[in-house]
């Protein structure tokens, strides 16, 4: 039986993406490859809400490198940063800022605590210069309110850095509309490509800042080199060439499906379908605002880890565990990737069997 992935990434690949590897490749230091890259970044830019393809670059590195490189290239010692820290990925921004000696404060949320205006208000007019947020905090599934964050950033003249890695192509997102200054996305999440690339998109004022940064702490990730090269569709160093072909193919596929709206509608349909079925079989879903990318499921009487393990060992179905304090209580089911409504029916059926099995095993031990 084939493995079924309901994980946040790398996700179940589309057959079209796998087929890319059957076609011919062009040497990457050619104008032909450069043109392909430029076209892809222009299309990707439209989906992100950035009309200037020369303000987009890509790195051969996972999303965390994108987060770190933004800190290296876009912050300086005079900055005072604010981080929304609602889980693993918010915590990662804090760790990276600390590592690079950039002053910051964090709004620390409990795993099930909704981010509200009252959390932000305390930090108004306090000399902050930048706001960092993982718009969808993938570790809990909470989707923050971008309108609220964008308004706060504007009112306080903050540069707004958004890790949109797990919300882009799952929820509505637009960089221009919300005045976002840097957007970070990566290949293996909503784009449904192999892991290994991250894409960065900048506003004009962030570009100006990047060009003023004198010495970036990492030579390899100096954005000035990437921005110069990208005008010709090139990168300073060898990129993950094959994933750029996957991207070209995926952007065509999205167009063929009917554009970004059609893709978002399909994710939403899978998401709603799963949530309805999950509630029907008695599963509990948290009530803070959720992304359509995934659904967290809470367990009280049995361990989430036991359910995850049996789903994997017995049925080759993969769902995500949660780290830290929530490991026993939560699992996460992803709705991105090449999965269908029929796959969800199968998942629900198997989850029900597994939960019964875990409960029976537990009652044997007790009695």
Ligand X SMILES: *Cc1c(COP(=O)(O)O)cnc(C)c1O
CA–CA separation, 109 vs 326, rounded Å?
14
Out of 62, 114, 217, 346, point to the residue binding ligand X (CB under 6 A): 62
Rg (CA), the chain: 21
Which span (28-36, 163-171, 201-209, 215-223) binds ligand X, by CB under 6 A? 163-171
Residue-wise DSSP of 180-211 = -SEEEEETTTTT---SS-EEEEE-HHHHHHHH
Tokens of 140: 């809990």
**Between 8 and 210, CB nearer to ligand X:** 8
Figure out which of the listed residues 34, 45, 53, 63 binds ligand X, where binding follows CB under 6 A. 63
Could you tell me how many residues of this chain bind ligand X (CB under 6 A)?
12
The residue within the footprint of ligand X, chosen from 50, 55, 60, 64 (CB under 6 A), is: 64
138 touches ligand X (CB under 6 A): yes
Which tokens hold the place of 342?
């029929």
The torsion defined by the Cα of 139, 173, 48 and 340, in degrees rounded to 10, comes to 70
Asked if 292 and 135 touch (Cβ cutoff 8 Å), the reply is no
Q: Is 34 in the site for ligand X (CB under 6 A)?
A: no
Regarding 334 and contact with ligand X (CB under 6 A), the answer is no
Alpha helices, DSSP H, located in the chain = 15-19, 31-48, 63-74, 88-99, 117-121, 146-155, 204-212, 223-230, 241-257, 260-280, 304-315, 341-366
**Quick one: which of 140, 142, 150, 186 contacts ligand X (CB under 6 A)?**
186
- 3-state DSSP assignment of residue 105: strand
Phi, psi of 170 (to 5 degrees): -125, -40
Does the protein bind ligand X through residue 165 (CB under 6 A)? yes
Q: Locate 225 and state its tokens.
A: 């080199």
Q: Which residue is nearest to ligand X (CB)?
A: 63
The stretch among 162-170, 224-232, 315-323, 331-339 that binds ligand X (CB under 6 A) is: 162-170
Provide, rounded to whole angstroms, the least separation between the CB of residue 300 and ligand X: 26
Q: Which of 5, 134, 292, 295 binds ligand X (CB under 6 A)?
A: 134
- Closer of 139 and 234 to ligand X (Cβ): 139
**List 140, 166, 249, 295, residue binding ligand X (CB under 6 A):** 166
Nearest approach, Cβ of 308 to ligand X (angstroms)? 18
**Cβ closest to ligand X, residue 85 vs residue 134:** 134
Q: How many CB atoms are closer than 10 A to CB 123?
A: 17
* Residue 163 lies near ligand X (rule: CB under 6 A): yes
CB atoms within 10 A of CB 220: 13
Residue 186 CB, nearest approach to ligand X (Å): 5
Residues within window 74-113 making contact with ligand X, judged by CB under 6 A: 89
Interface residues toward ligand X, by CB under 6 A:
9, 62-64, 89, 134, 138, 163, 165-166, 186, 189
């Amino acid at each position: 039986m084939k493995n079924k992935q309901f994980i946040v990434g790398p996700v179940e690949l589309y057959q079209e993406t796998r087929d890319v590897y059957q076609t011919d490749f062009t040497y990457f230091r050619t104008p032909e490859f450069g043109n392909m890259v430029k076209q892809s970044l222009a299309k990707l830019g439209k989906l992100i809400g950035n009309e200037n393809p020369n303000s987009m670059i890509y790195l051969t590195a996972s999303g965390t490198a994108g987060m770190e490189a933004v800190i290296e290239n876009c912050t300086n010692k005079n900055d005072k940063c604010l981080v929304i820290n609602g889980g693993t990925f918010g915590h990662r921004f804090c760790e990276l800022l600390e590592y690079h000696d950039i002053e910051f404060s964090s709004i620390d949320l409990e795993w099930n605590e909704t981010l509200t205006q009252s959390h932000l208000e305390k930090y108004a007019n306090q000399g902050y210069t930048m706001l960092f947020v993982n718009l969808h905090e993938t570790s809990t599934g909470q989707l923050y309110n971008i309108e609220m964050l964008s308004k706060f950033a504007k009112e306080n003249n903050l540069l707004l850095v958004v890790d949109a890695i797990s919300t882009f192509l799952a929820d509505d997102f637009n960089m221009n509309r919300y005045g976002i200054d840097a957007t970070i996305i990566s290949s293996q999440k909503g784009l449904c490509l192999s892991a290994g690339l991250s894409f960065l998109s900048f506003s004009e004022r962030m570009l100006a800042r990047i060009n003023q940064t004198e010495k970036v702490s990492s030579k390899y990730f100096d954005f000035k080199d990437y921005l110069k090269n990208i005008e010709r569709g090139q990168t300073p160093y060898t990129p993950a060439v094959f994933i750029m072909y996957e991207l070209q193919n995926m952007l065509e596929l999205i167009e063929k499906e009917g554009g970004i709206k059609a893709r978002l509608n399909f994710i939403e349909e899978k998401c709603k379908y799963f949530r309805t079925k999950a509630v029907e079989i008695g599963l509990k879903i948290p009530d803070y605002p959720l992304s359509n990318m995934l659904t967290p499921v809470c367990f009280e009487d049995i361990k989430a880890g036991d359910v995850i393990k049996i789903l994997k060992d017995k049925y080759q179905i993969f769902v995500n565990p949660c780290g830290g304090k929530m490991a026993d209580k939560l699992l996460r089911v992803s709705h991105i990737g090449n999965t269908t409504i029929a796959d969800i029916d199968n998942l629900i059926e198997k989850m029900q069997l597994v939960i019964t099995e875990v409960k029976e095993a537990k009652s044997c031990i007790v009695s």
